[in-house]
């Protein structure tokens, strides 16, 4: 339980007390061997790495794009810019953020390129998936063009944002629900860091500055050297070591032409009495402390971070559902669709055209391209014969994998026919096709809303962050199910065939408010 409030802690400082480390060193980057690309492969065909690989590849495909706007009005002070971008990185779930100047010592002799990009491009060349999602033609054309575009060196870029995502606890041998998780830590952290990098690179391009994301599998720069130069790590025995995480973290970066204020490298290992003393152990310095530095340290993955097992369970939701009389509604009844059709008046209709309500908030709109890219991966049939397994084992594995990937709450339920829309966006009847569902919840962050001004459109950013996060985490789980021999489909904000609130009730994730 937290003993101290961090309500007044500046967001750009992040969850770890990195500001207490000793800085001012001059690291010799030549003491750090050039990094090798991270392979998304595993001898176990049921390893979660194989499902994560498709999503890592899609992020590697959309890591760069055109600068389509003139330079936006942003602070002139490079330190203000750096603080803003680091805060954005923490908002998009980074564990550590740093900034450094980009020098010749950071450029890889031979760039890394994800070998799966060519396979994804060939898949996209066969045609877009069958979906009536709004803007699918433009989304498909953009992603296909990105897959076809070669990426040269980034010699015009002068600064780098460095992103680190911490490992969680290693799954224990014999731990229930972890059959797919062993040996996947590096790939998990790399994927989550890549997610943040792709979003921030898109954000910078929206501000009118060229930017490119670099991942553990596709990069023109050495991520470990960037981590050392930005003060996220020091060099110890040829490795980049963080004072709080050791070597248990994954990296990504964004290089850009935008001028930023660099962080100082660490002096020695950076440790001081203030950085690793009483404040670190008690949590007085920052939200993360010694006892909570590693997620799930004292809890099984399948149980999740919240004590749902303590809640009273019943066979049917407390809210009465007269299932025999529940009508099915067409997707035309969806409020996004109703807004576009003008049901709420012309002002609302104009605000909905082209997703204008999203474009008003660049820190939310920057997730839109990646969200569209993941739409292309949310469909799929079984990728082989079904593997016969025990339902209880399946349930534990699905929940543990979801929590391991960083979902906040997961519930499993049946999908009654009345939970499906009656007709899709084209007016075609929908025949219910799946009987079971994995339902996920993602915390949008009360801290963010408490800091809102009321007219800053921050809820757009909260929604888009959660939408993208679900499309990624839910997509990985769906791909894993397909690899086990069963069809699976993601129902995302862009395209879905089910009404999600009743599934949350049926899976025990919530109840209808009485207010």
DSSP state of 416: -
- Band of pLDDT at residue 437, cut at 50, 70 and 90: very high
131-135, 145-149, 190-194: which range is least confident on average? Answer: 131-135
**Helical residues (DSSP H) of 92-135, grouped into ranges:** 117-125
Q: For residue 214, what pLDDT is reported?
A: 99
- Is the model's pLDDT at 455 over the cut of 80? no
- Is the model's pLDDT at 11 over the cut of 70? yes
pLDDT tens for 197-241 read 999 999 999 999 999 999 999 999 999 999 999 999 999 999 999
Q: Which residues of 249-287 are buried (b: 16+ CB within 10 A; e: fewer)?
A: bbbbbbbbebebebbbbbbebbbeeebbeebbeebebbb
- Band of pLDDT at residue 363, cut at 50, 70 and 90: confident
Q: For residue 410, what pLDDT is reported?
A: 98
Q: For residue 452, what pLDDT is reported?
A: 72
Q: Report residue 248 as tokens.
A: 């248990």
Question: What percentage of the chain carries pLDDT values higher than 90?
Answer: 76
Q: Report residue 342 as tokens.
A: 């003008």
Mean residue pLDDT of the chain comes to 93
Q: Report the length, in residues, of the chain.
A: 515
pTM to 2 decimal places: 0.95
Question: What percentage of the chain carries pLDDT values higher than 70?
Answer: 98
Q: For residue 468, what pLDDT is reported?
A: 95
Q: Report residue 505 as tokens.
A: 């009730």
- Band of pLDDT at residue 352, cut at 50, 70 and 90: confident
Q: For residue 128, what pLDDT is reported?
A: 78
pLDDT tens for 167-196 read 999 999 999 999 999 999 999 999 999 999
Question: 67 near 209, Cβ under 8 Å?
Answer: yes
Question: 56 near 194, Cβ under 8 Å?
Answer: yes
Question: 320 near 329, Cβ under 8 Å?
Answer: no
Close Cβ partners of 359 (under 8 Å, ≥ 6 residues apart): 365
Q: Which residue's entry shows tokens 């906040």?
A: 408
Q: For residue 139, what pLDDT is reported?
A: 86
- Is the model's pLDDT at 477 over the cut of 90? yes
Q: For residue 351, what pLDDT is reported?
A: 83
Cα–Cα distance, 203 to 451 (Å, whole number): 21
Q: For residue 355, what pLDDT is reported?
A: 78
DSSP 190-220: HHHHHHHHHHHHHHHHHTT--EEEE-SSSEE
Question: 450 near 431, Cβ under 8 Å?
Answer: no
Q: What is the mean pLDDT of residues 68-89?
A: 95
Q: For residue 237, what pLDDT is reported?
A: 95
Phi, psi at residue 384, to the nearest 5°?
Answer: 165, 180
Sign of dihedral through CA atoms 287, 265, 191, 239?
Answer: negative
- Band of pLDDT at residue 515, cut at 50, 70 and 90: low
Cα-to-chain-centroid distance, residue 211: 19
Q: What is the mean pLDDT of residues 29-34?
A: 97
Return the SS3 of 54: helix
514 vs 433 pLDDT, higher one: 433
Question: 209 near 73, Cβ under 8 Å?
Answer: no
- Band of pLDDT at residue 1, cut at 50, 70 and 90: low
Q: What is the mean pLDDT of residues 300-317?
A: 94
Phi, psi at residue 411, to the nearest 5°?
Answer: -140, 145
Q: Which of 477, 472, 491 shows the shortest CA–CA distance to 48? A: 477
Q: What is the mean pLDDT of residues 373-394?
A: 89
**Phi-psi domain of 107 (left: phi exceeds 0; alpha: psi -120 through 50; beta: other):** beta
């Amino acid at each position: 339980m937290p003993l101290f409030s961090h309500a007044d802690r500046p967001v750009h400082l992040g969850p770890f007390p990195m500001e207490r480390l000793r800085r001012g060193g001059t690291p010799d980057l030549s003491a750090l061997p050039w990094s090798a690309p991270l392979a998304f492969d595993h001898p176990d065909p049921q390893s979660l790495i194989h499902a994560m690989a498709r999503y890592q590849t899609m992020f590697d495909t959309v890591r760069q794009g055109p600068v389509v706007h003139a330079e936006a009005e942003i602070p002139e002070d490079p330190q203000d810019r750096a603080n803003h971008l680091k805060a954005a990185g923490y908002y998009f779930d980074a564990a550590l953020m740093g900034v450094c100047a980009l020098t010749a010592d950071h450029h890889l002799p031979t760039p890394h390129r994800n070998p799966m990009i060519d396979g994804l491009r060939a898949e996209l060349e066969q045609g877009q998936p069958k979906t009536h999602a709004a803007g699918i033609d433009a989304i498909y054309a953009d992603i296909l063009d990105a897959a076809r575009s070669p990426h040269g060196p980034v010699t015009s870029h002068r600064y780098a944002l460095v992103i680190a995502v911490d490992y969680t606890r290693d799954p224990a041998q014999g731990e229930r629900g972890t059959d797919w998780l062993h040996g996947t830590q590096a790939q998990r952290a790399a994927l989550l860091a890549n997610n943040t990098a792709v979003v921030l690179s898109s954000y910078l391009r929206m501000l009118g500055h060229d930017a490119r994301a670099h991942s553990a599998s596709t990069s023109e720069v050495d991520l470990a050297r960037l981590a050392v130069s930005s003060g996220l790590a020091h060099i110890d025995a040829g490795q980049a070591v963080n004072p709080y995480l050791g070597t248990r973290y994954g990296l990504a970066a964004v290089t850009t032409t935008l001028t930023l204020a660099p962080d100082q490298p660490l002096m020695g290992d950076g440790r001081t009495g203030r950085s690793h003393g009483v404040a670190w152990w008690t949590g007085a310095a920052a939200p993360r402390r010694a006892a909570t530095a590693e997620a799930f340290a004292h809890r099984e993955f399948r149980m999740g971070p919240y004590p749902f097992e303590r809640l009273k369970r019943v066979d049917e939701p407390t809210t009465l559902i007269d299932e025999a009389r529940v009508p099915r509604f067409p997707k035309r009844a969806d409020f996004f669709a109703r807004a576009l059709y003008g049901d709420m008046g012309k002002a609302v209709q104009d605000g909905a055209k082209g997703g204008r309500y999203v474009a008003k908030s660049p820190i939310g709109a920057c997730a839109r391209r990646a969200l569209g890219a993941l739409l292309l991966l949310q469909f799929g049939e079984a990728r082989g014969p079904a593997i016969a397994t025990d339902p209880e084992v399946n349930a534990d594995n699905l929940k543990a994998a979801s929590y391991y990937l960083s979902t906040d709450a997961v519930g499993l339920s049946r999908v009654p026919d009345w939970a499906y829309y009656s007709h899709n966006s084209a007016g075609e009847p929908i025949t219910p096709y799946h009987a079971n569902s994995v339902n996920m919840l993602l915390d949008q962050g009360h801290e963010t809303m408490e800091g809102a001004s009321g007219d800053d459109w921050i809820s757009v950013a909260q929604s888009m962050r959660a939408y993208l996060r679900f499309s990624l985490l839910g997509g990985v789980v769906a791909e894993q199910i397909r690899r086990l021999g069963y069809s699976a489909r993601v129902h995302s904000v862009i395209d879905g065939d089910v009404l999600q609130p009743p599934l949350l009730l049926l899976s025990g994730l919530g109840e209808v408010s009485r207010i």
